[in-house]
Amino acid sequence: MSTTLGTLEDLPLDYRAALGRLSLAPLWPMMRNVLPHGAPQPVSRAHLWRFEAVRPLLLEAGDLTPVEKAERRVLVLTDPGRGEGAMQATSVIYVGLQLLKPGETAPAHRHTPSAARIIVEGEGAYTVVDGEKCPMHRGDLVLTPGGAWHDHGHSGTEPVIWLDALDLPLFVYLEGSYAEEAPLQAPRNRPDASQAEYLSAGLVPARRPAVSKPNRYPMLRYPWSRTEAALARLGAFAAPGEAVELDYVNPETGESCLPTLGFTAMMLRPGETLAPPLRSSSAVFHVVSGRGESVVNGERFGWGPADTFSAPVFSAVTHRAEGVEPAFLIRIHDRPLQERLGFFEERPRP
Ligand code: GTQ
């Protein structure tokens, strides 16, 4: 049943004025804005950010703005559907490209939103997360969960660039976003948990009864070398057209590695087209290596290494690798949040 609802213009001017004076508004003229029929009507628009176009401007920011004047030297990937300066790529997902030059440090802070980084270019940088020093190599995923202290440093010789993903837009919407600052952390003198405790699937450190406080984020770094090897092995035995995709999870619980954002690593084999169902979640795809093409709601994005593109909620997306090599992508999405709120869904493609 679909009735045509009354409009604001149906109402006498003096009645509308009286409502306004009392900070009131009629629901029915705005009902379909907030409750459209059948599916949400996203404001976000799919977009491709080419790394080779962003990179020179990010390096220029390195000359224009000292890191002390930036705290974090980042160019934000802004959703064209929301106009200039939007601090988000989709409803929930913020992504930005961050530059750290050799010898620079970005001071310690912690904030309510959660973050993760995907390393794009350069060697020698590291992030210290609650005292754990996480090296950053290309393709690594490094978590900084909400409330965790983190600072960045760089002991290499070339600029380092990484992609930040945060659930910042959600926290801003909730009026829950703020940060605290502190001096640089003294890192513990031991390798991060991915190199000391969680080296092999199915093996976790034996739980000691004396350890009373469970660590909610036992592993903060997911080295790309292992992810790529695992994908190659999975792909070797997957049927053609079957998704070769691995979920980044908390190794102790199997749950998403952050509360609101999820991450998967995908391998697209040459010649195969991947056409997942429509999903109520939004996504940002980052190309770790390879070339290919994705079609998002009919819009064609040809991509290569280090490019990033977005897909709003319920997008129809297809991916295809080009050439003879597989392509590797990381998908950032907000399904964990939607599952926690009880409304995540998938629908068949039209
Ligand atoms: O590196 O801590 O892109 O706090 C935005 C906010 C990066 C960071 C961002 C941040 C950071």
For 45-102, how does the pLDDT look when each residue is reduced to its tens digit (9 = 90+)? 999 999 999 999 999 999 999 999 999 999 999 999 999 999 999 999 999 999 999 9
| Ligand 1 atom with the shortest distance to the CA of 150 | 2
**What residues are in contact with ligand 1 under a 6 Å CB criterion?**
72, 74, 96, 98, 111, 115, 150, 164, 166
Shortest-distance Cα residue to atom 8 of ligand 1: 72
Note whether residue 207 is domain-resident.
no
136 — pLDDT class (breaks 50, 70, 90): very high
Query: Cα of 143 to ligand 1 centre, how many Å?
Result: 12
**17 in a domain, yes or no?**
no
Which residues touch 180 (CB under 8 Å, ≥6 apart)?
Answer: 109, 110, 111
Q: How far apart are CA 303 and CA 305, in angstroms?
A: 7
Mutate to test the pocket of ligand 1, among 98, 100, 170, 261 (most ligand atoms within 8 A of CB): 98
Distance 95 CA to ligand 1 centre (A): 9
19 found inside a domain: no
| Rg, Å, the chain Cα set | 22
pLDDT of residue 1: 54
**Mean pLDDT over each residue of the chain, to the nearest integer:** 96
Which residue among 67, 72, 126, 163 has the greatest number of ligand 1 atoms within 8 angstroms of its CB, and so is best to mutate?
A: 72
Band of the pLDDT at 263, cuts 50, 70, 90?
Answer: very high
Residue whose CA is closest, atom 1 of ligand 1? 72
Output the pLDDT for position 127: 98
Which atom of ligand 1 approaches the CA of 152 most closely? 1
DSSP code at position 31: H
Q: What is the pTM of this model?
A: 0.97
**What is the whole-number distance in angstroms between the Cα of residue 166 and the centre of ligand 1?**
8
Residues 6+ apart with CB under 8 A from 24: none
- The model's confidence at residue 240, banded by pLDDT at 50, 70 and 90, is confident
Whether the per-residue pLDDT at 208 is higher than 70: the answer is no
Q: Given this model, what pLDDT does residue 215 score?
A: 81
Q: Is residue 33 part of a domain?
A: no
213 pLDDT exceeds 80?
no
Q: Which domain holds residue 333?
A: 48-200+218-347
Distance (Å) from CA 157 to ligand 1 centroid:
22
**Is residue 98 domain-resident?**
yes
* 273 belongs to a structural domain: yes
Atom of ligand 1 nearest to the CA of 117: 1
Nearest-CA residue for ligand 1 atom 6 is: 72
CB 144 within 8 A of CB 112: no
Question: 147: buried, middle or exposed (CB in 10 Å: 19+, 13-18, 0-12)?
Answer: middle
**pLDDT of amino acid 350:** 86
Which ligand 1 atom sits closest to the C-alpha of 164?
A: 3
CA of 72 to the centre of ligand 1 (A): 6
For residue 292, the CA-to-ligand 1 centroid distance in Å is: 29
> 85: helix, coil or strand?
coil
Cβ neighbors of 152 (< 8 A, separation 6 or more) are 98, 100, 105, 106, 125, 126, 127, 128
Cα(282) to centroid(ligand 1), Å: 21
In total, how many domains does the chain have? 1
Residue 3 pLDDT class (50, 70, 90 cuts): confident
Residue 180's domain is classified under what CATH number? Answer: 2.60.120.10
Measured in angstroms, how far is the CA atom of residue 76 from the centroid of ligand 1? Answer: 10
Pocket test for ligand 1, best of 67, 73, 74, 120 (most atoms within 8 A of CB): 74
Q: Which pLDDT value is given to residue 2?
A: 61
* Centre of ligand 1 from the C-alpha of residue 55, in Å: 18
**pLDDT at residue 212, as a whole number:** 55
User: Does residue 210 surpass a pLDDT of 70?
Assistant: no
Q: Which atom of ligand 1 is nearest to the CA of 94?
A: 3
Question: Pairing state of beta strands 94-100 and 346-347?
Answer: unpaired
Instruction: Summarize the confidence of residues 119-144 as an average pLDDT.
Output: 98
Query: Does the residue 205 lie in any domain?
Result: no
